[in-house]
Amino acid sequence: MDSDPLSRLPHGASFRFVDRVLEITPGTRVIALKNVTVGDPHLQGHFPGNPIMPGVLLVEAMAQAAGLLLPDGSSALLAQIKEARFRRPVVPGDQVRIEAERLGGLGPLHRFAVKASVDGTAVAEAEIVLAETSQVTSNAL
């Protein structure tokens, strides 16, 4: 595994929602952080004067953390979101702790239990499925 697990994410810096990995047990479990700041571009319009991290981006952060548990050299697409629950808004100044645990899989599909918390209080949770795939290049589109 790379010395920097974040280098395994295929996302560009502008769409990376994991800032740091605290703990990782390859293929099994990961704990990561996302620092939410007032300078995050998506907060400028969601919502002016009352910035809240969009729930879809919170799910993306959880999926990116789970993606760190895939085999080296692989990438995946988000295939399914089950039982997503949002407990409270995430706002600038929050440090989101993301925990992902691999539940199992079948072929290219990988199931994960994911949860996000701020200061020990749950903010979101879901079960997600990632579909392992070869990377798509712009030439293939």
Q: Which of 11, 42, 46, 110 is labelled catalytic?
A: 46
From CA 44, how far away is CA 39, in angstroms rounded?
Answer: 8
- DSSP for residue 103: E
From CA 58, how far away is CA 2, in angstroms rounded?
Answer: 25
For the question of residue 110 being annotated catalytic, the response is no
For 37-98, give the DSSP string: -TT-GGGSSSSTTS----HHHHHHHHHHHHHTTSPTT-EEEEEEEEEEEE-S---TT-EEEE
Contact yes or no for 42/53 (Cβ under 8 A): yes
Please list the active-site residues. Answer: 46
